[in-house]
Amino acid sequence: MGMAEDANKTIYVLHGPSLDLPGTCEPQTSGPTTLADVERLCAETAARFGLTSLYRQSNHEDGLMQSIHEASAGDVAGIVLNAGTYSRTSAALQDALVHSNIPMVEVRIGNTRGRDSFRHHTFTAKAAFASISGFGVDGYRLAITGLAAKLGAKAALQTDLSAQA
Protein backbone atom coordinates (compact mmCIF):
# COMPACT_ATOMS: atom_id res chain seq x y z
CA MET A 1 0.00 0.00 0.00
CA GLY A 2 1.70 3.24 -1.15
CA MET A 3 1.02 6.75 0.06
CA ALA A 4 -1.13 8.40 -2.61
CA GLU A 5 -0.70 12.14 -2.87
CA ASP A 6 -4.20 12.76 -1.57
CA ALA A 7 -4.08 10.04 1.11
CA ASN A 8 -4.41 11.05 4.72
CA LYS A 9 -0.92 11.37 6.15
CA THR A 10 -1.98 11.55 9.78
CA ILE A 11 -0.91 8.97 12.32
CA TYR A 12 -2.22 8.62 15.85
CA VAL A 13 0.17 8.01 18.71
CA LEU A 14 -1.87 6.54 21.55
CA HIS A 15 -0.60 6.28 25.11
CA GLY A 16 -2.30 4.15 27.76
CA PRO A 17 -2.44 4.21 31.56
CA SER A 18 0.33 5.90 33.53
CA LEU A 19 2.18 6.90 30.37
CA ASP A 20 1.43 10.50 31.24
CA LEU A 21 3.93 9.96 34.08
CA PRO A 22 7.25 9.10 32.37
CA GLY A 23 10.12 9.76 34.70
CA THR A 24 8.01 8.81 37.72
CA CYS A 25 6.53 5.48 36.59
CA GLU A 26 9.36 2.93 36.30
CA PRO A 27 12.16 5.52 35.83
CA GLN A 28 14.70 2.70 35.41
CA THR A 29 12.88 1.85 32.17
CA SER A 30 11.65 5.17 30.79
CA GLY A 31 14.25 7.47 32.33
CA PRO A 32 13.45 11.11 33.04
CA THR A 33 11.61 11.55 29.74
CA THR A 34 8.21 13.27 29.88
CA LEU A 35 5.21 12.66 27.65
CA ALA A 36 5.91 16.03 26.01
CA ASP A 37 9.44 14.77 25.17
CA VAL A 38 7.99 11.59 23.64
CA GLU A 39 5.49 13.58 21.59
CA ARG A 40 8.24 15.91 20.36
CA LEU A 41 10.30 12.87 19.31
CA CYS A 42 7.26 11.47 17.49
CA ALA A 43 6.49 14.77 15.75
CA GLU A 44 10.08 15.12 14.53
CA THR A 45 10.19 11.53 13.29
CA ALA A 46 6.80 11.72 11.57
CA ALA A 47 7.73 15.01 9.87
CA ARG A 48 10.81 13.34 8.33
CA PHE A 49 8.36 11.17 6.40
CA GLY A 50 5.85 13.89 5.54
CA LEU A 51 3.45 12.57 8.19
CA THR A 52 1.56 14.44 10.89
CA SER A 53 1.25 12.88 14.32
CA LEU A 54 -1.65 13.43 16.70
CA TYR A 55 -1.55 12.31 20.32
CA ARG A 56 -4.04 10.88 22.73
CA GLN A 57 -3.38 9.61 26.24
CA SER A 58 -5.90 7.93 28.48
CA ASN A 59 -5.71 6.16 31.79
CA HIS A 60 -9.01 4.48 30.88
CA GLU A 61 -9.75 1.70 28.41
CA ASP A 62 -12.79 3.54 27.04
CA GLY A 63 -10.62 6.58 26.26
CA LEU A 64 -8.29 4.44 24.15
CA MET A 65 -11.29 2.78 22.48
CA GLN A 66 -12.72 6.19 21.57
CA SER A 67 -9.37 7.23 20.07
CA ILE A 68 -9.24 4.09 17.94
CA HIS A 69 -12.82 4.67 16.74
CA GLU A 70 -11.98 8.32 16.02
CA ALA A 71 -8.93 7.23 14.02
CA SER A 72 -11.03 4.78 12.03
CA ALA A 73 -13.74 7.34 11.29
CA GLY A 74 -11.14 9.98 10.42
CA ASP A 75 -9.34 7.96 7.76
CA VAL A 76 -6.08 7.96 9.74
CA ALA A 77 -3.15 6.34 7.94
CA GLY A 78 -1.69 4.49 10.92
CA ILE A 79 -1.50 4.06 14.67
CA VAL A 80 1.39 3.73 17.10
CA LEU A 81 0.04 2.31 20.34
CA ASN A 82 1.49 1.86 23.80
CA ALA A 83 -1.55 0.57 25.66
CA GLY A 84 0.41 0.00 28.86
CA THR A 85 -1.21 -2.60 31.09
CA TYR A 86 -4.26 -2.73 28.81
CA SER A 87 -2.13 -4.41 26.15
CA ARG A 88 -2.26 -7.66 28.10
CA THR A 89 -5.78 -7.38 29.51
CA SER A 90 -8.01 -5.88 26.82
CA ALA A 91 -9.53 -8.08 24.16
CA ALA A 92 -11.79 -5.07 23.48
CA LEU A 93 -8.79 -2.99 22.32
CA GLN A 94 -7.66 -5.87 20.14
CA ASP A 95 -11.10 -6.08 18.52
CA ALA A 96 -11.30 -2.32 17.96
CA LEU A 97 -7.85 -2.31 16.34
CA VAL A 98 -8.62 -5.29 14.10
CA HIS A 99 -11.95 -3.79 12.99
CA SER A 100 -10.34 -0.41 12.28
CA ASN A 101 -8.22 -1.91 9.47
CA ILE A 102 -5.56 0.68 10.25
CA PRO A 103 -1.91 -0.42 10.21
CA MET A 104 -0.70 -0.40 13.83
CA VAL A 105 2.61 -0.82 15.60
CA GLU A 106 2.62 -1.78 19.26
CA VAL A 107 5.27 -0.07 21.40
CA ARG A 108 6.40 -1.17 24.84
CA ILE A 109 9.02 0.99 26.55
CA GLY A 110 10.47 -1.87 28.58
CA ASN A 111 11.50 -5.34 27.50
CA THR A 112 8.36 -7.27 28.33
CA ARG A 113 10.05 -10.60 27.57
CA GLY A 114 12.63 -9.88 30.27
CA ARG A 115 10.00 -9.49 32.97
CA ASP A 116 7.34 -11.65 34.62
CA SER A 117 5.84 -14.26 32.29
CA PHE A 118 2.33 -12.77 32.57
CA ARG A 119 3.70 -9.72 30.70
CA HIS A 120 4.75 -11.79 27.66
CA HIS A 121 1.27 -12.08 26.13
CA THR A 122 -0.42 -9.00 24.69
CA PHE A 123 -3.79 -8.81 22.99
CA THR A 124 -2.76 -5.65 21.14
CA ALA A 125 0.23 -7.40 19.50
CA LYS A 126 -2.24 -9.71 17.75
CA ALA A 127 -3.72 -6.65 16.00
CA ALA A 128 -0.34 -5.13 15.11
CA PHE A 129 1.79 -5.73 12.06
CA ALA A 130 4.84 -5.17 14.31
CA SER A 131 5.73 -4.91 17.99
CA ILE A 132 8.69 -3.05 19.46
CA SER A 133 9.81 -3.44 23.05
CA GLY A 134 12.84 -2.74 25.16
CA PHE A 135 14.19 0.34 23.38
CA GLY A 136 12.84 2.82 25.91
CA VAL A 137 11.10 5.84 24.45
CA ASP A 138 13.23 5.49 21.31
CA GLY A 139 10.84 2.64 20.45
CA TYR A 140 8.36 5.32 19.34
CA ARG A 141 10.87 6.59 16.76
CA LEU A 142 11.43 3.04 15.55
CA ALA A 143 7.68 2.41 15.40
CA ILE A 144 7.01 5.53 13.32
CA THR A 145 9.88 4.68 10.99
CA GLY A 146 8.45 1.17 10.49
CA LEU A 147 4.92 2.50 10.07
CA ALA A 148 6.14 5.01 7.47
CA ALA A 149 7.81 2.18 5.55
CA LYS A 150 4.58 0.15 5.70
CA LEU A 151 2.69 3.17 4.33
CA GLY A 152 5.25 3.70 1.57
CA ALA A 153 6.39 7.08 2.90
CA LYS A 154 10.00 8.02 2.26
CA ALA A 155 12.19 10.08 4.56
CA ALA A 156 13.08 13.51 3.20
CA LEU A 157 16.79 12.65 3.35
CA GLN A 158 16.24 9.44 1.38
CA THR A 159 14.26 11.35 -1.24
CA ASP A 160 17.01 13.98 -1.56
CA LEU A 161 19.73 11.33 -1.95
CA SER A 162 17.75 9.34 -4.52
CA ALA A 163 17.17 12.51 -6.55
CA GLN A 164 20.95 13.08 -6.75
CA ALA A 165 21.70 9.55 -7.95
Residue 30, pLDDT score: 56
- When the candidates are 3.40.50.9100, 3.40.50.720, 3.40.50.300, 2.60.130.10, the CATH number that belongs to 10-164 is 3.40.50.9100
SS (H, E, C) the chain: CCCCCCCCCEEEEEECCCCCCCCCCCHHHHCCCCHHHHHHHHHHHHHHCCCEEEEEECCCHHHHHHHHHHHHHCCCCEEEEECHHHHHCCHHHHHHHHHHCCCEEEEECCCHHHCCHHHCCCCHHHHCCEEEECCCCHHHHHHHHHHHHHHCCCCHHHHHHHHHC
pTM above 0.85, yes or no: no
- Residue pair 105/134 in contact (Cβ under 8 Å)? The answer is no
Examine the pLDDT at 133 and tell me if it is beyond 60: yes
What number is the average pLDDT over the span 48-67? 94
Q: Kindly tell me if the per-residue pLDDT of 5 is higher than 50.
A: no
Answer whether 56's CB lies under 8 Å from 63's CB: yes
Rg (alpha carbons) of the chain, rounded to whole number: 15
Q: Which of 23-37, 81-95, 116-130, 148-162 is least confident?
A: 23-37
The model's confidence at residue 14, banded by pLDDT at 50, 70 and 90, is very high
What integer pLDDT is reported at residue 15 of this predicted model? Answer: 92
Mean pLDDT of all residues in 71-96: 87
Lowest mean pLDDT segment, chosen from 51-60, 91-100, 126-135, 154-163? 154-163
Q: What was the pLDDT predicted at 162? A: 47
Instruction: Give which of 79, 53, 77, 59 is closest to 68, Cα–Cα.
Output: 79
Q: Which residue has the higher pLDDT, 128 or 11?
A: 11
Residue 112 confidence (pLDDT)? 63
